[in-house]
Amino acid sequence: MVKREVVGAHYGLIDWLYQRVTALVMVAYTLVLFGVLVANPGMDYSAWRAVFANVPFKLLTFVFLLAVFLHAWIGVRDIFMDYLKPVSLRLTAEILAALALVFYTGWAIHILWGIK
């Protein structure tokens, strides 16, 4: 049985963990992308396109972007909780941020799987 209390503790622990795991995913992807750029200096369009047309790299890029969006969600939510005290204002800001990130997720899919 799920027993949640308004004043209960530890609900933030999973967010804390997501924040750290997504950070490590971003560090790993940053290093991989850096390696790709160093190994292929001066890429033209077709070479650059080929990097992202490669399915494993495309999926890796998608996982990176999802990590960015989830990390950003937890981060901006923390900022809103710190500075936006009226509940109506905070809820509005959180809904707008969440909608933006869902929009970005769709956009990322459109970009990555639209590569011709």
Partner 1 sequence: MSALDPSVTRPRPKHLNLVKIKQPLPAIVSILHRASGAAMFLFGIPLLLVLTNASLASPETYASLKEILGSPLVKLILLGFGWAYLHHFCAGIRFLLLDLHWGVGLQAARQSSRAVLIVSLALTVILGVRLW
Decide whether 20 or 91 has the Cβ nearer to partner 1.
20
79 part of the interface to partner 1, by CB under 8 A: yes
d(CA 72, CA 79): 10
34 part of the interface to partner 1, by CB under 8 A: no
Q: What Å distances lie between residue 26 and 71, 92, 113, CA to CA?
A: 10, 28, 21
Q: Is there a contact between 22 and 65 (Cβ–Cβ < 8 Å)?
A: no
What SS3 state is found at 115?
A: coil
The residue within the footprint of partner 1, chosen from 89, 91, 109, 115 (CB under 8 A), is 115
Which positions touch partner 1 (CB under 8 A)? 20, 23-24, 26-27, 30, 45-46, 48-49, 52, 68-69, 72, 75-76, 79, 97, 104, 107-108, 111-112, 114-116
